[in-house]
Chain A
Amino acid sequence: MKVAVLIKQTPDTAELPKVSPEEVRSGDVKATMVINPWDEYAAEEAIQLGDRFGASSVAISLGKEGETDALKHALAMGVNSALLVDVEAAREGDVWAVATALAAAVQHEGDVDVVLTGKMSVDGNSGAVYTGVACKLGWNLLVNVTKIVDIADGVVTAERSFEGGQETVTMPLPVVISVAKEINDPRYPSFMGIRKASRAKIPVLTAQELGLESIPRAVRWENLRKPEARHTEVQIIEGETVEEQAAKLVDALLAEKVI
């Protein structure tokens, strides 16, 4: 069995507020880039599927040459191999273009039974890429999986969670699975793992090799901007006693008509 885990390199969440519309527009974001936090759960699950079912794992990321820190993090955690997909046409924020490139890479890799991804990226926030990958591959899709119960006889049994609760379902392979935070506790890379990953030479798959020099686009992003800064003048409620403070706060909130 072979598992592909889709990894995105995203800004460190502490630096997201500093990202400017111009950086997003140009694609040249200056922030410290790390593995998308949601994708750590997918990488961990790929490694655990290796332990449980003897599956081999490959981490795949879309990015420019040299954008390999997130892939190296996955390798350091224990994912078997990594692949960088350098497709310029997939860089303009169109989720279907991204999905097209990633699906092509999965196909190029060959023999993949399970694709794992995090539930969304902390920058694009679309939570739609895995749906697109399943659609482009023509594979089944399981979303927000909290537990992979078993994989046997070409069928995965999994628990997934949604607003209405939790369901245990079966789905034939091959399948794309987006994982939820509850699925596992991602390990920290070991010292040895980091050393090994830092020396790894990560192969690059180009648009030419995938036949994706151009990809039709369905949407355009326009008028990128910062949200309006909210009024931040805090009114500190003082009082002789905590009861007095509480009463004053309740007065204020009733006047705001938010109760």
Chain B
Amino acid sequence: MSVLVWIEQIDGQAVHSSWEVLGKGRELADSLGSPLVALVVGHGVEAVAEEARGYGPDTVLLADDPALERFRLQPYAAALQEAIRRADASVILASATTNGRTLTGLVACQNQAGLAPDAVDLRIEEGKLVAVRSVYSGNILSDIYFDTDQQFASVRPRSFPAPEAGEAQGAIQPLPVPVDEGQVPEKILEVKPADTSEISLTDARIIVSGGRGVAKDPELGFKLVSELADVLGAAVGASRAAVDAGYIPYKHQVGQTGKTVKPDLYIAAGISGAIQHLAGMGQSKVIVAINKDPDAPIFERANYGIVGDLFQVLPALTKEFKKRLGKEEKE
């Protein structure tokens, strides 16, 4: 029996939230008294396997093959199946990224095993995994108990703290996966990598978001949002109203039909706080609302509020943070 964690890599870089899952995996493996196994799949990704050794696994399985270079569901599922057999895994985890959710889903279904998608907490009870899911868009919590021997979960990013990298341990073991490129149904024709300078919303510790309040000058409004975000090393978010109005691309949208985020600090500028927006950011640790309307519903969810015009408040905040964080420009 073991706990197996898939460490996702994209273009040879480990996906940060995978470490959160591996860290939690250590805790679960310890309470089960079973080994923790990390799985790295790709081509020429020894560095990711080496990095994984720093987060406490007993073994790192490395499936390396040219056909595994980029994520394709069928060969990656074959690799995960092989790893489950090799590690005799009973608890199988991954970060709930697009690929992590799909991979755990398909392999769980193939094995007729239970799945807890996008879990927000995990624990062990009577030798089995219990997952907590947030459903009804953050309005209901449920414990998921498994009736099957294999227990699969994908874990929402930022549900667990990122572990500190420690001394490398556990051996890297090659995991041969028989993949015949001719048998892979999916062919990748073209790749447009994401802008790596942008901080991902779901991984962000701090998010600064703009909403309809930027309407009188949307371009300047989001420039001010971005400037504050830059000083704080934060990701830029937006409300649906701002996205629908075309002020900023959809990938920045936070809320019901956008991303669900859980930063330490969420600064909402010119966002009224519709229920659908709150569903996406209501779990943030500290919420700051900046809005001209003192009756905006966002203030009912916020820890701190400034009733004022974001076009004045944001530059003032940016300047003050620069000063305090020692980032003041030298003139």
List A residues at the B interface (Cβ < 8 Å).
11, 13-14, 16-17, 19, 21, 24, 37-38, 95-96, 99, 122-128, 131-132, 134-136, 140-144, 157, 161-172, 181-182, 216-227, 230-232, 234-237, 242-243, 245-247, 249-250, 252-254, 256, 258-259
Within 8 A of A (CB), among B306-321: 306-308, 312-313, 316-317, 319-321
Report Cα–Cα, A21/B230, bound state, in Å: 41
Once A and B bind, how many residue pairs between them come within 8 Å at the CB atom? 248
Scan residues 72-121 of chain B and give those whose CB is less than 8 A from a CB of chain A: 73-74, 97-99, 101-102, 105-106, 108-110, 112-118
- Partner of B250 from A144, A181, A252, A253 at Cβ < 8 Å: A181
Residues A226 and B139 in contact, CB atoms below 8 Å apart = yes
B123 contacts chain A at the CB level, 8 A cutoff: no
**In the complex, which residues of chain A have a beta carbon less than 8 angstroms from the beta carbon of B294?**
236
A165 with B192: CB separation less than 8 A: yes
The digit string for B284-302, where 1 denotes a CB below 8 A from any CB of A, is 0110110000100001111
Residue among B109, B140, B148, B306 making CB contact with A131, cutoff 8 Å: B109
B98 touches A218 (CB 8 A): no
User: Which listed residue, A125, A226, A249, touches B118 by the CB 8 Å rule?
Assistant: A125
- From the candidates A125, A128, A161, A172, name the one contacting B135 in the complex (CB within 8 A): A125
Given A125-B133, A259-B325, CB of A163 within 8 Å of CB of B140: no
| 10 closest residue pairs by CB, A with B | A164-B10, A218-B114, A131-B105, A135-B109, A246-B316, A165-B194, A219-B114, A168-B190, A162-B98, A258-B265
B11 and A164 contact, CB distance less than 8 A: yes
Q: Which residues of A contact B320 (CB under 8 A)?
A: 243, 246-247, 249-250
Compute how far the CA of A164 lies from the CA of B324 in the bound complex, rounded to whole angstroms. 34
Given known A122-B256, A218-B113, A250-B320, contact A13–B137 (CB-CB < 8 A): yes
Cβ B304 vs Cβ A252 within 8 A: yes
- Residue of B whose beta carbon sits closest to that of A136: B109
20 contacts between A and B (CB under 8 A): A95-B117, A96-B112, A96-B115, A99-B109, A122-B136, A125-B117, A125-B134, A131-B101, A131-B109, A169-B186, A171-B185, A223-B143, A234-B303, A234-B305, A235-B305, A236-B304, A250-B324, A256-B286, A256-B303, A259-B325
* B203 to chain A: closest residue by CB: A163
B160 within 8 A of A: no
A3 to chain B minimum Cβ distance, whole angstroms, is 19
Interface range on chain B (Cβ under 8 Å from partner): 35 or more
Q: Determine the distance from Cα of A187 to Cα of B220 in the docked complex, in whole angstroms.
A: 32
For B109, B116, B140, the residue with the greatest tally of chain A CB atoms inside 10 Å of its CB is B140
Task: Judge whether A234 and B300 touch: CB under 8 Å.
Answer: yes
B40 contact set on A, CB distance < 8 A = none
Q: How far is the CA of A142 from the CA of B308 in the complex (A)?
A: 46
Question: Which of chain A's residues has its CB closest to B194's CB?
Answer: A165
**Is B279 located at the chain interface by the 8 A CB criterion?**
yes
Once A163-B200, A216-B112, A258-B286 are accepted as A-B contacts, the answer to whether A225 and B316 lie under 8 Å apart by CB is no
